[in-house]
Structure 1
C-alpha cells in the first residue's frame, strides 16, 4: 500500500483548557492490535511497529503542541498580626528580636540578590523562558554539600518526578534533583506542590550536613528557611530568549543518561522508524495486555498513526485540548504546599502522570519528523520497561550495522 502524499500542516496555537470536570470521561475505545516487544528484546511475533505517517525527509519540522499558559499556585493568605495590648518583658524581647530580624532581611532585600542568588535566579528565568506555557513551577537552588565543597545547582519542577518539558535544555553544571536521588527520596517527594519544599526536604534528609544557600522559584507560596529566597517573575522570563548552545543538555541526557547514550548511537536514517517502534512499545505495552491508554481520543490517534496515516487538523486540535485539560486535572491531585502524597495518593497521581507522558509522546507526531530523544524521554517517564526499551534500540542498531557489512 502506497503511503498517502504529505499534506500541508498548519500549526495551531494552543488554547486555554476548559474548566476541569469532576472526573475525566474515559472510553474503552477500539481494540488496537500490535506485536508486543518482550523483555529480552525479541518479539512474540514479527513486530509491526507503528508506521511513520508518510515518508519524512530531513526538511520536516518537529515539536510538541504548545500547552496552555502555566498556572502558578496562589500565594497563601497573609497571617494576621497579633492584637496589641500589655506585653510581658519576655514578649517585648521576642518582639524586639523579631523586629531586628525583619530589619536585617529588609536591608538585604534592598541590596538585591547575592552572587549565589543571581546564579539561581538566572537559571530559573531561563527555564521559564524555554517552556513558558508549561503547567508547573520551578525551583533552582545553590546547594553547598559541605563547608569546603563547590556549590551545586539543583533544579526541580513540581510535576511528577522533576518533569522537564520539551525544549528545556539544562546546563551541564546543574542537576535535575529527583533524577539523581535515592528511590526512597524520589518516592517521598514526587507530587509535592511546592518545588522549594522538595529541595529543602532533600537537603534535610539526604545530605543533612549540606546547606541550601539560595533558592530562586516561580512559586508564590514557598519558604526556604534560612536560605536566601528570590521570587522569579514569569513576565521577566517571557522577554528572554530560550537558552541554546554548547554545554546545554537535552532532557533525556539529564534524566535518563544511559538511555540517551543508546539513542545517540542510532543512525539518523533509522531515527523515525525507531521513534515509531518506541511509541508502539510505550503506548501498547510489551506484555500483550493492550494499549496503556484507553481514552477514546488517544486510541483514535494511536490507531490512525498505526495505519500509516495522519490525523486531521481537527483531530489533532481536539486531542491536544483534551490532553491539556487532563494534565490540569492531574496537577490538581497534588496536596497543598508543605504536604506530601501518601502511598495510595502517589500511586494514583503517578498513574495519571504516566498517561500524560504517553499523550505527550503521541503529540510529538503532530509535526514531523518527531525527535527520537523526546519520544524516548516520554516513553521512559511513562513507565515503559527500560530494559525492553534499551534492547529495542540496541537491536535496531545492531541490525543496521549488520546490513552494512
Structure 2
C-alpha cells in the first residue's frame, strides 16, 4: 500500500516508538508510575513528562508554557472556552470544526471570509466586541498558509486575543506570534491521543475541565508518560530534521505537480505547505476513483468530514461549486514518502480517472 494521507495522520517515527516503550512496562517494570505521585517511580515518570515538555517547547516561540492535552481538539476547546465568555469569537471560514463548532457553542461568533486562493486577509473588519480571533497557520484540506502574523497584529489592534491552530504547521514551518497555539502529536509523527496548547507568558485562562488540577490547574486528569514521551521524541526529530524534511517535501511536490499536470489545483500554489496537494478533475467520480485505487491511501477531503456526504466547507469557502468540491481529492505526503511511491500512485490515479472517460 502507498500512504498519501499525511493531513489525516502521519506514520509514527521510530524515535517516538522507542521513547514510548519504557513507559509501557507491565508487572516487574518501573515505567508505569503515575507522574503525579511523589515516590521514586512517580518522579521518574514526571521527569519524562518534563523532558518532553522541553522538547515540544523548542519549536514554539520563546517563552510561554506547554499544557498537555488529549489532542488539538481539547487544546482548542480550552483556548476558546477558557479565554473568556464576553464578546465575539471571530474565525476564518476554513477553520477546522474543532474551532468553528466550539466558537459557535461558546457564544457569539463571526466568520471571516477567505479569497479564492484560500487566504484569509486582514482587509476585513471584525465585530467591535471581538474577544478572540482564530486563524489556522496551515489549512488541513488545501494546505494554504495563512498570514497569521498580520492577524496577530490585527487582534492586538482590536484588543483581542489571537488563537492559532498550528496542527498542520508544527514541525514543518516556523510558528508565528500568537497568544495561544494548538498542536496534535500524531500530525508530526507522534502518537495519537496527545496534543498541547501553548499559552504565552502573562495570559491566564480559566479552567474548563474540573478535577485534580493537573497541568497548571487548567487541564485535570492523569497524564500519560508514554504518549507524552513519544510526542517529545517526535518533536525533537522534527526539530533536528526541519530543513531536510522541508527540502524532501518540495522535491515530492515538484514531481507530483508534473505527474498531475492536467488536474486543477485547489488553493494557492505558492502560499502553501507543499506536502498537501488538493486538486480536482471536472466530472470525476471520487467514490469510484477511491474504489478503483484501493492500494493508494488518499482522501476525498478532510478525514474529520469524510463520509458525511457534504461538500467540503473549505472548498466551498474558496468559491468551488458542490460539483467541483465533490470532484476533488487530497494527497498528503512527507518525511517517509518516496519519489517512487508518488510516481506509482500518480500512474494508478491517472489511469483510474482516464477510465472514467476524463
TM-score, length of structure 1 as denominator length: 0.26
Which of the pair has the greater relative contact order for Cα pairs under 8 Å at 6+ separation? Answer: 1
Q: Name the larger-Rg structure.
A: 1
- Pick the structure with more strand per residue: 2
